[in-house]
């Protein structure tokens, strides 16, 4: 971990469309499907909407000549517990719990309290042995009304570069980099891209910042929230480093906290 705690900017129109924090655990015993019910009893007053969710599980394996092969290996059942306004939800499945905060994003302090509460309740009802992975992810959509085309670097500095001899106008683009943060025990997966949607009238970019444990064995149950706080600091600093002052003006920067 390097540097001092970042100065937190406040925006009138935050670009966050989803923030999520996921914990994966090493169990003390085989997964028991009574755990989601026990979990729900503890959070029902804040997350009363209950439903089952069955995302596909994708298995990636090495193929021939260095290629990768993706196979759908089955469904992973999860239970979702949502707030009445559907603005936040908790998902719980085999040895996993995640907290999702959708748009409009309130504040880090509010989201952090939800994360800490979910982790506390999961430990109480499932008694996991250890943590196998933590991830904190922020997905931002930066949309600029009134612009049909624009130089990417005018708003977003995390942009692809091609040789000057190649035309510099992109119809679409996507880039991904992985950056280790050794002192913070983290790996930042930074993805940025253009957004192309039917009927879209404005220039829009996605900036997806996913901070995950680099060495999961160093992440401890009792200090997991300290890791999450450090991860948030790094994600926030990276977001600010990726956008320009002109982008901040269009997002409606109103001050600091």
Regions of the chain with pLDDT less than 50: 1-3, 58, 60-61, 64, 66-68, 70, 72-73
Show contacts of 73-76: CB within 8 Å, 24+ apart. none
DSSP state letter for 162: -
Q: Is residue 25 part of a domain?
A: yes
Burial class (CB in 10 A: 0-12, 13-18, 19+), 209: buried
Structural domain containing residue 154: 9-54+76-256
Cα 16 to Cα 136: distance, rounded to the nearest angstrom: 13
Residue 170: the pLDDT is 77
Q: Is residue 192 part of a domain?
A: yes
Domains identified in the chain, total number: 1
Instruction: Kindly report the pTM of this predicted structure.
Output: 0.86
Residue 144: the pLDDT is 79
Q: Is residue 13 part of a domain?
A: yes
Q: Is residue 59 part of a domain?
A: no
């Amino acid at each position: 971990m390097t540097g001092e705690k970042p100065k937190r900017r406040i925006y009138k129109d935050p670009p966050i469309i989803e923030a999520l924090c996921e914990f994966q655990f090493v169990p003390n015993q085989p997964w028991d499907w009574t755990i989601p019910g026990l979990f729900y009893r503890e959070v029902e007053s804040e997350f009363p909407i209950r439903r089952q969710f069955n995302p596909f599980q994708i298995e990636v394996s090495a193929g021939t000549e260095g290629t990768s092969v993706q196979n759908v290996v089955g469904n992973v059942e999860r239970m979702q517990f949502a707030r009445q306004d559907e603005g936040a939800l908790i998902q719980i499945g085999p040895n996993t719990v995640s907290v999702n905060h959708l748009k409009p994003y309130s504040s880090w302090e509010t989201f952090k309290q939800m994360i800490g509460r979910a982790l506390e309740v999961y430990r109480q009802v499932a008694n996991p042995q250890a943590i196998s992975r933590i991830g904190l992810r922020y997905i931002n959509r930066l949309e600029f009304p009134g612009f049909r085309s624009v130089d990417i670097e005018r708003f977003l500095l995390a942009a692809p570069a091609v040789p000057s001899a190649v035309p510099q106008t992109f119809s679409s683009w996507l880039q991904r980099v992985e950056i280790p943060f050794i002192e913070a025990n983290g790996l930042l997966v930074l993805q940025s891209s253009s957004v192309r949607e039917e009927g879209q009238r404005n220039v829009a970019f996605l900036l997806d910042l996913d901070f995950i444990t680099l060495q999961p064995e160093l992440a401890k149950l009792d200090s997991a929230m300290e890791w999450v706080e450090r991860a948030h600091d790094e994600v926030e600093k990276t977001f600010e480093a990726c956008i320009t002052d002109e982008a901040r003006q269009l997002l409606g920067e109103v001050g600091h906290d």
